[in-house]
Structure 1
Amino acid sequence: MVNPTGLDEAMGRVLGLDPAAAARPGRAGKVEKAVDHPVISGVPLAALPALGPYGYKTAGSAKVVAKVGDRPVIVTNQAGRARAVTLNLGRGAELIWPMRRDQILQPRLPAWERQWSLILKAVVWAARKDGLTSMTASAPARIARDGLGAARLKVTVTLPSVLIKPIGKSKITATFRDAGLTGPKAETKEFPLRGGKQEFELPIPAGLSAGQIEADAVLTTAGKV
């Protein structure tokens, strides 16, 4: 849920928030991680716009995952098999949907892509579609033009040590896009999936234009994501 308002007691229990404790939006500030959680795994919180969240207080088993100052921004709650995620974005909520729907379908690289990544991760976790596999990808924050050919996207795939052998090979597909929209350019890596941690490096294409570059990494096994 994004920016819950007018909560009753029943909805407050679902979200893990105290309905009586909501306050007006605070001063905008940078989002900081409070604890590690699948909802923010791989999401560059520092790249989100400054947010002024409402002053909610958590209740029950709710966990503050990210915050601005002492105000929660991302809150997760779990009761039995039920899961809920609250994105308490306050004055920053309008920044998630700053474009018309037809514009969202155009290939662009504004911050909304990172914001939608956060929303999609929240939906996947709340719907219990996260599974046992986790994957992270990272690259240097700045790459000089003469060093682009040697730059690598580092990808880590982690599974529990005890793993049922999957059917078919696994493949990582990394798609790169640049501000000049000369992409997408893709690199792939095939490997046998196993339990534990596996680390790989994929080359970053040298033909990308200068400026901001974004990479999406997708893991498939036997053709399934």
Structure 2
Amino acid sequence: MSEFAPKKVAVLISGRGSNMASLIAAAKEEGYPAQIVLVASNNPDAKGLETAAAEGIATCAVDHKAYGKDREAFEKALNEEIVKSGAELVVLAGFMRLLTPWFVKQWEGRMINIHPALLPSFKGLDTHQRAIDAGVRLHGATVHFVTPEMDVGPIIMQGAVPVLDDDTEATLAARVLTVEHEIYPEALALVAAERTCIEGMRVRILGSDDMEEDLIAPVV
């Protein structure tokens, strides 16, 4: 990873930004191949903006409500801020807005997201309760490249946790969040170090014969 200059990253959030915080912590480590240059939010009151500012990272808020139903106008304003920051990659970390094909096209192959489920199962919202209701034994999180279709992009990394008999939505969510904080920095490092190659719906990891077994975190 040290062969590459750190890639500049913009992180998009809508709330407290716990995954953002895990990325900020990882980016402080020597040799980490990504540098967070901007944290942006559609919500001016997002707590994560305060967290990022306290870490000395540039922040901005582009309030989607100011643009009414014109999603593309909002996204163009947001994209202007991202481009201005010099970001080369975009990371979605609890960004609660559906992105239009226009925005996705601007960052095709350079934008990743983390979803609180083992895709392709449980796309969309309320994933933890739906996993409990479905009676699955394993649940988890998925880091994937973003495509115009929601929660469908090529998968970079997954982490799994058991679903216990006495789990509630809250207890399962907390267990999954721990895995999210582990795998998101690892997945971003792979993308930033240019070790990912998208082949159809599969992401091939370059540079290590042993990497495949590391793309699924141990069950915890």
Higher strand share: 1
Higher helix share: 2
Q: Would you call these one fold, judging by a TM-score over 0.5?
A: no
* Larger RCO (CA within 8 A; separation ≥ 6): 2
Which TM-score applies when normalising by structure 1?
0.29
Which TM-score applies when normalising by structure 2?
0.30
